[in-house]
Amino acid sequence: GKEVLLLMQALNTLSTPEEKLAALCKKYADLLEESRNVQKQMKILQKKQAQVVKEKVHLQSEHSKAILARSKLESLCRELQRHNKTLKVRNIQLARDEEEKRKEATAHFQITLNEIEAQLEQHGIHNAKLRQENIELGEKLKKLIEQYALREEHIDKVFKHKELQQQLVDAKLQQTTQLIKEAEEKHQREREFLLKEATESRHKCEQMKQQEAQLKQQLSLYMDKFEEFQTTMAKSNELFTTFRQEMEKMTKKIKKLEKETIVWRTKWENNNKALLQMAEEKTVRDKEYKGFQIKLERLEKLCRALQTERNELNEKVE
């Protein structure tokens, strides 16, 4: 409403209708330039969204690789646990066998006692080595698990950053749609203003036609009076001269009114032409706006698909 009032005030400051039409054309050109800038911003945002989608696919591939590495590490941990269990069972079995041999040897062969003790010492050294190896493997697994946790934190941070970028893109899309809507409202207001001016000019033209008919009636009356005065011309020359002067004035007024009617008729025709051009341009604008709506719907579908994919990925990661 404020913009329309400012536009009407600016047009009222102008004197001629040609200047008003020129100002309106300039305003329409500015609006067209704004719509072109909005289209450029839409293309830039579409490029940014495509880049975000590529980065998201890359991050998904990295995340799948990390999941594969995690599964491999888990399988290695299971194998190590199995190996430790088998080693414990072996050690227990060996200890039992050695104990039985030792009992049998002490009962029957006291001489082989030293040899059995030596073998037990060797097995103890071997078991100590195995325990040391198990401790080292456990530390390595702890380090790998810590590295994997750090990697997951990094991936979560990157996902959050991409989500913020997606929200920024959505906000910019909403802003562009709002700008398109405002431009359409401005165009509608200017069209209504031009229609109002055209109706006013048409009304003025009809008034001028009515005045012309009234003046013609007055002229016919004056002609009748002039014929009446011709009969009495010999009696009053002074009255004839005054009447002649009045007739000349009336003819001048009629000529002036005819010129004004011609000017108003040309203005009315020019306004009609301008209205037809505005209607054609509005149809073009409507087509462009429909194209924008289709593009926006496609972008919204893509955003929904990306959000669903992101939700599915989050569920898989959890």
pLDDT at 315 exceeding the cut of 80? yes
Q: Which of 17, 141, 122 is nearest to 77 (CA)?
A: 141
Which of 5-14, 22-31, 53-62, 100-109 has the least mean pLDDT?
A: 100-109
Q: Report the phi/psi class of residue 109: left, alpha or beta, with left for phi > 0 and alpha for psi in -120 to 50.
A: beta
Average pLDDT for residues 272-280, to the nearest whole number?
83
Domain assignment present for residue 65? The answer is: yes
CA angle 284, 289, 291 (to 5 degrees): 100
Q: Looking at residue 109, what is its pLDDT?
A: 60
Domain assignment present for residue 18? The answer is: yes
Distance, CA of 314 to CA of 306 (rounded, Å): 12
DSSP state of 110: G
pLDDT bucket at 187, cuts 50 / 70 / 90 = low
Distance, CA of 212 to CA of 273 (rounded, Å): 26
Q: Which one is predicted more confidently, 263 or 173? A: 263
Distance, CA of 299 to CA of 172 (rounded, Å): 12
Mean pLDDT of the chain: 78
In this structure, what token pair is assigned to residue 53? 């989608």
Residue type for 43, please? K
Average pLDDT for residues 257-262, to the nearest whole number?
85
Distance, CA of 106 to CA of 103 (rounded, Å): 5
Distance, CA of 57 to CA of 225 (rounded, Å): 98
Does residue 278 sit in helix, strand or coil? helix
pLDDT in tens, 78-134: 888 888 788 888 888 887 888 888 777 667 767 766 776 777 677 667 767 777 776
Task: Classify residue 155 by burial, with Cβ atoms within 10 Å: 0-12, 13-18, 19+.
Answer: middle
Q: Looking at residue 112, what is its pLDDT?
A: 67
Domain count, the chain: 1
Q: Which one is predicted more confidently, 180 or 18? A: 18
Domain assignment present for residue 32? The answer is: yes
pLDDT bucket at 199, cuts 50 / 70 / 90 = confident
Domain assignment present for residue 72? The answer is: yes
Distance, CA of 214 to CA of 218 (rounded, Å): 6
Domain assignment present for residue 56? The answer is: yes
Domain assignment present for residue 147? The answer is: no
218 within 8 A of 250, measured Cβ to Cβ:
yes
Average pLDDT for residues 289-296, to the nearest whole number?
86
Residue type for 293, please? Q
205 HSE (CA, 13 A, CB side): 15
pLDDT at 174 exceeding the cut of 70? yes
Q: Which of 309, 34, 310 is nearest to 42 (CA)?
A: 34
Domain assignment present for residue 14? The answer is: yes
Distance, CA of 150 to CA of 157 (rounded, Å): 11
Provide the residue range defining the domain that includes 9.
2-95
Distance, CA of 214 to CA of 228 (rounded, Å): 21
pTM assigned to the model: 0.27
Contacts of 264 (CB under 8 A, 6+ apart): 201, 204, 205, 208
Domain assignment present for residue 80? The answer is: yes
> 279 vs 36, 192, 194, 276, 282, CA distance in Å?
19, 11, 11, 5, 5
pLDDT bucket at 59, cuts 50 / 70 / 90 = confident
CA angle 302, 307, 310 (to 5 degrees): 125
